[in-house]
């Protein structure tokens, strides 16, 4: 799969059906040595109006990605673990 093929896809959590964001609104993190994709970093929509103006991000490890479809990327994150991936 080409990197450009990920652009524009919605990221959906399979546990609760929540739309986490879009790939084109995110950053991709690659391993410097191998070039493998390690994670997708998506701006946390819940904290859009943070009091201090500091953005928070949801980091989705590549291992959590279940399926890349034609329009969506399905991830396997349990709701209670969202904060474990935020920075």
pLDDT digits (tens, 9 = 90+) for 30-54: 999 999 989 988 876 554 455 555 6
Sequence-ordered strand ranges (E) for 6-87: 10-13, 19-22, 27-30, 37-43, 57-61, 65-68, 72-75
**What band does 71 get if pLDDT is binned at 50, 70 and 90?**
very high
Q: What is the CATH code for 3-85? A: 2.30.30.240
Q: What are 78's two structure tokens?
A: 């349990």
Q: Does pTM surpass 0.85?
A: no
Q: What is the pLDDT of residues 73-82, one digit of tens each?
A: 999 987 655 5
Domain ranges within the chain, ordered by starting residue: 3-85
Residue 42: per-residue pLDDT? 83
Nearest-Å Rg of the Cα atoms of the chain is 13
């Amino acid at each position: 799969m080409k990197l450009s093929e990920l652009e524009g896809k919605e990221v959906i959590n399979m546990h609760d059906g929540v739309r986490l964001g879009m790939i084109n609104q995110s950053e991709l993190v690659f391993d410097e040595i191998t070039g493998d994709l390690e994670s997708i970093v998506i701006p946390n929509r819940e904290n859009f109006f943070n009091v201090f103006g500091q953005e928070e991000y949801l980091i989705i490890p590549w291992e959590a990605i279940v399926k890349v479809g034609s329009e969506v990327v399905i991830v396997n994150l349990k709701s209670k673990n969202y904060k474990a991936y935020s920075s």
